[in-house]
A and B are shown apart, each in its own frame.
Chain A
Amino acid sequence: MEIKVLGPGCPKCHEAEKIVREALAESGVSANVAKVSDFQEMAALGVFATPAVVIDGQVKVSGKVPAKKDVLAWIGK
């Protein structure tokens, strides 16, 4: 599983990354988590606003920090 957390590097995207990592740790699901701050890559994914979370190429949330329960649902737990 490939997870990308998109954001330029501010408290909200750091929080989003933290929640994603916590969800993975709690669930035991294995995934590569990458922080993306490249504007071109974000635009290519069609993300309108950050923070955003992309899982295996699918944009799961855009413009807000996700709730952990949502992340757990996205990773199948």
Chain B
Amino acid sequence: MSKSCCSSTKQRMILACSGGSNVGQATNQAAVELTREGFGKMYCLVGIGAGLQGFVQSARAVEEMVVLDGCPVGCAKAILDREGITPGRYVVATALGIEKVKDPQLVVREEDVRRIKEAACEGAGTASPASTDAASAPCGCSGKA
């Protein structure tokens, strides 16, 4: 949270699965970059998953939530489903055509991060794979990978 002031703009929480795969780490990097670009603020999915009350309460109360899952296993979404929380925007990296590969180096491609960020900004809708339709209104993020 901001050290200088309380929330004065719309709160947009970004949650990424940050899983142990190339696509999981791509969601993490996308969330980091979207936070740096001011699109929203990355939050602690693990705290919600652990059932820590403050984290769950904050997730319930936030005005807007963007969830980034790496693959159809949908771990981030499952955590929120368990708590009865529906994200406003939901992106699955593999649904964007990003291939999940077996790579112990967990290499993250800039192009993959860029595509996830664009999908997050375009608004994928609830519980459905993101569209890459570029006709959506601009979100204001730089889209830089």
Contact = CB atoms under 8 A, between A and B. Distances in A.
Interface in B56-72: 56-59, 61-63
**B interface: dominant SS:** loop
Nearest to B55: A46
B57 A49 contact: no
Interface residues of A, number: 25
B54 A45 contact: yes
B58 A49 contact: yes
Contact of A50 (B6, B43, B53, B55): B6
A46 B52 contact: yes
A61 B53 CA distance: 12
Contacts of A54: 54
B117 interface: no
